[in-house]
Amino acid sequence: MKLFNKAIIAVATVGAVISGSALAEVTEASSEKHAKAATQYRQAVFQLVRSNMGPLGGMAKGALPFDESVMQTNAVRLEQLADMMGDYLAVDTRKFDVETGAKDVIWDNFSDVEKKVMALKTAAQGLQAAVKTGDESAYRGAIGKIGASCKSCHDDYKKD
């Protein structure tokens, strides 16, 4: 499991370095193969987000005890995944028949998508800060902000 976690962090770090803090520019998929690959990569990033949110959500709901190590690790990962999201979301796949959970409007209002991704990054940094201070009373709220940032994007840009 530790090897898997290290591999995920390494991939996320490389993605963060490549994407940097520059805003992604929407580009059209150049072929069905490109559209399918872009969709797979997007979905992979969101699977990783989900896997890191699960334990945090359990802690916020009181179903799991607060675990500062898990909160710190998962918050770092979520920050890194947010750094990659813009790049993977920026490939407009509408012209091709690919199975995606994204609403078409995502590419029409991409600056808003990027703001929502930045909100996720900021919220993940907020959880990291709460963990560093050891302020257990702030944990639930910090996790809630991450969840709210995810929900905001889902409400506007994810198909039901």
Structure pTM? 0.83
| Per-residue pLDDT at 59 | 96
State yes or no: 154 annotated in a binding site: yes
Does residue 56 register a pLDDT over 50? yes
State yes or no: 150 annotated in a binding site: yes
State yes or no: 34 annotated in a binding site: no
Residue whose entry in the numeric block shows the structure tokens 């805003």: 23
| Per-residue pLDDT at 8 | 52
Does residue 16 register a pLDDT over 60? no
Class of domain 2-157: mainly alpha
